[in-house]
Amino acid sequence: MNISSQNRNKINDPITLKHGIETLNISLFSITSLLLLLNVVFSISVSAEKKENQMILVSAGTFTMGNEKRAADERPVHKVYLDAYYISKYEVTNAEYYEFWRSLQKNNPESSQYTPESFTHLPYIGDWPERATKFPDHPVVGVSWDDAKAYAEWKGMRLPTEAEWEKAARGYSNRTWPWGNSIGPYANTADKNDGYENRIAPVGSFPKGKSYYGVMDMAGNVWEWTADWYSDVYYFHSPKKNPTGPTVGSWRVIRGGSWIDTLPRCSTTFRYYFYPTLKTSSVGFRVAKTAEKPKK
């Protein structure tokens, strides 16, 4: 039974009805008070429960990108140099995205631009903006690549490039998963026994699954948009320094797998892609920022 049908049943309860108009007036007063209270709670809880999303510094240097033993588009394995950058510790949460969305709504309440998709049929995700209150520390989903980019720019940041994403996930060693090479229950995948059966987990629910740099949920929970266009042969000719992906394309790269994917798809090198306009229940994002170069 969903919440709205529960409320309907309470209102139609014969005990409430038999006392006549006076009780009905009191009930209406109570409902109004409750709605006012909920409105207050809504505003408070969205700001109070906001999880601080620190930016983690990934130092400049060369790392190994790709994997010879896996999918064809992960080849060839190649060395990539990246300047220092910051990447958010967590996937961007509902509460964080809500702040951005509210600021747009204040200026233009009629606009539906950058509004996340609703998932009425998925109660553990639900509709926007209600889910910002219900699940403030869950990663935002139902956001297109353009939504993600707009949020990042509003924060004065950007989406990580595919190379930045992979370095933050695997570090300098060849970790198959952010935590290493052991198959542990350190991520929210399609595995029923990971504590989050068929649902999204609050960000940072798997501290043992953190990457070499301490970045969380880079395996599973939600896929993450990256800045790059996708090409299956990009690694054959990508620049050795600060690659930013092909100049044109049809799909944007997503990384890390999700709550509906098996563990192999949540590896640090697995590449996947979506149309940039697609808003699904399994794709969110995190943000990045170029670190300032030390003054000489």
The nearer residue to Ca ion, 67 or 221, going by C-beta atoms, is 221
Q: Output the smallest distance, CB 169 to Ca ion, in A.
A: 9
Q: Output the smallest distance, CB 171 to Ca ion, in A.
A: 16
Identified binder of Ca ion from the candidate list 196, 212, 225, 273, rule CB under 5 A: 196
Number of residues forming the site for Ca ion (CB under 5 A):
6
Q: Output the smallest distance, CB 105 to Ca ion, in A.
A: 27
Tokens 């697995």, located at residue: 270
- Please, what sign has the CA dihedral across residues 269, 274, 279, 280? negative
123 touches 205 (CB < 8 A): no
Q: Output the smallest distance, CB 211 to Ca ion, in A.
A: 11
Token pair, residue 38, equals: 């909920």
Q: Output the smallest distance, CB 175 to Ca ion, in A.
A: 15
Identified binder of Ca ion from the candidate list 188, 205, 226, 238, rule CB under 5 A: 188
The nearer residue to Ca ion, 131 or 265, going by C-beta atoms, is 265
Kindly state whether residue 202 participates in binding Ca ion, applying the rule CB under 5 A. Answer: no
The nearer residue to Ca ion, 160 or 256, going by C-beta atoms, is 256
The nearer residue to Ca ion, 188 or 211, going by C-beta atoms, is 188
The nearer residue to Ca ion, 61 or 93, going by C-beta atoms, is 93
- Please, what sign has the CA dihedral across residues 222, 227, 230, 234? negative
Q: Which string of x and - marks every residue 216-235 that binds Ca ion (by CB under 5 A)?
A: -x---x--------------
Q: Output the smallest distance, CB 256 to Ca ion, in A.
A: 4
Identified binder of Ca ion from the candidate list 142, 180, 245, 256, rule CB under 5 A: 256
The nearer residue to Ca ion, 147 or 217, going by C-beta atoms, is 217
The nearer residue to Ca ion, 23 or 262, going by C-beta atoms, is 262
Chain residues 159-178 in contact with Ca ion, contact rule CB under 5 A: none
Binding span for Ca ion by CB under 5 A among 101-109, 202-210, 211-219, 269-277: 211-219
Q: Output the smallest distance, CB 144 to Ca ion, in A.
A: 17
DSSP labels for the chain? --HHHHHHHHHT-HHHHTTHHHHHHHHHHHHHHHHHHHHHHHHHHHHHTPPP-PEEEE-SEEEEE--TTS-GGG-S-EEEEE--EEEESSPPBHHHHHHHHHHHHHH-TT--TTPPPPBTT-TTTB-TTHHHHHSTTSBP-S--HHHHHHHHHHTT-BPPPHHHHHHHHHTTTT-SBTTBSS--S-SBSS-GGGS-TTS---TT--GGG--TT-----SBSSEEEEEEEP-TTHHHH--SBS----SS-SSEEEES--TTS-GGGGSSS-EEEE-TT---TTEEE--EEEPPPPP-
The nearer residue to Ca ion, 189 or 238, going by C-beta atoms, is 189
Which residues contribute to the site for Ca ion (CB under 5 A)?
Answer: 188, 194, 196, 217, 221, 256
